[in-house]
Amino acid sequence: MSPHSSSPLIQPEELAAIGGDVTILDVRWRLAGPPGIESYREGHIPGAVFCDLNADLAAPPGPDGRHPLPPAAAFESAMRRLGVSDARPVVVYDDADSTSAARAWWTLRYFGHRDVRVLDGGMRAWTRAGLPVARDDTQAGEPGDFTAEPGGMPMLDADRAAELAARGVLLDARAPERYRGEVEPVDPVAGHIPGAVNAPTTQNVEPGGRFHSREFLRERFDALGAVEGVPVGAYCGSGVTAAHEVLALEIAGLPAALYVGSWSNWVADPDRPVATG
């Protein structure tokens, strides 16, 4: 693995061939539960340690959103506890579609880790490839020496997201019915940021959970106006699925900024405008 790899993804067979010289984080998580640690204990990639999205990749919920960015010191401490080091490659994975793994990928990249890859297809692809599964409760060995230095990936706040929706392309990664404001199962207000374009993350992956090809994704984002030379950003409900959008854009060769607070932060201020339809 190299920080200069042309793709942020790694395939199961590639990961299996690396051997022990990599830190593997199991980032399985579901908004409605059950806790990802239960899936981890039922079976995980040998040597992987469990990374808790809520505790390790986000600060407590509040006005900044349901999954705000953790402070640098807290993130650094969590990653060191999980064995993450600056010079050691990291692979992150979840069940299949890389939604929560993408949040780990983005957060590590934002805080300065240069060699992070996402297991394409996650645990489902690993087991389908016939690769071994462990059922021990793996703990990280030696603590890592990761140093968190913010700013490694572009990030938006509410004001910059609004500006991007007006002058560039702001992609709303949520399901169409949430974008249109027809239903809102989580946040107190339904709708979307005015000027945002709906781009559900479910269309970034194939039915089995693996990402579509670079060419497919490039055509998809081109059709949405996300082309070279145009500033692009993404948001969702709380900055998790939007990280998946940023990952898909990266695969397509299109750098994009993440609005970490996303809709849950946007609607925390009743003076911010809301669009529907």
**What are the catalytic residues?**
236
Cα–Cα nearest to 56, from 71, 39, 78: 78
Q: Are domains 9-128 and 155-266 of this chain identical in fold?
A: yes
Q: Lowest-confidence range among 18-32, 103-117, 232-246?
A: 18-32
Lookup: tokens for 210: 């693996």
- The model's pLDDT over 56-87, given as tens digits with 9 standing for 90+, comes to 999 999 999 999 999 999 999 999 999 999 99
Query: Cα–chain-centroid distance for residue 213?
Result: 18
Lookup: tokens for 277: 């339809």
Supply the Cα-derived Rg of the chain in whole angstroms.
18
- Rounded CA-CA distance 159/205 in Å is 30
Instruction: Please name the CATH architecture into which domain 9-128 falls.
Output: 3-Layer(aba) Sandwich (3.40)
The CATH class of the 155-266 domain is alpha beta
Cα–Cα nearest to 30, from 39, 43, 41: 39
Provide the pLDDT for residue 20: 80
CB-neighbour burial class of residue 205 (10 A; exposed 0-12, middle 13-18, buried 19+):
buried
- The model's pLDDT over 121-145, given as tens digits with 9 standing for 90+, comes to 999 999 999 999 999 887 777 899 9
The answer to pTM > 0.85 is yes
Provide the pLDDT for residue 31: 84
Q: Where are the domains of the chain?
A: 9-128, 155-266
Lookup: tokens for 159: 């004001």
Lookup: tokens for 138: 């793996």
- The yes-or-no verdict on residue 220 having pLDDT over 80 is yes
Which element (helix H / strand E) includes 172?
Answer: strand 169-172
Cα–Cα distances (Å) from 175 to 3, 65, 269, in that order, read 33, 19, 23
- Percentage of the chain exceeding pLDDT 70: 98
Provide the pLDDT for residue 1: 56
Mean pLDDT of all residues belonging to the chain = 95
Best-predicted range by mean pLDDT among 27-31, 136-140, 211-215? 211-215
- Please give the average per-residue pLDDT across 227-252, as a whole number: 97
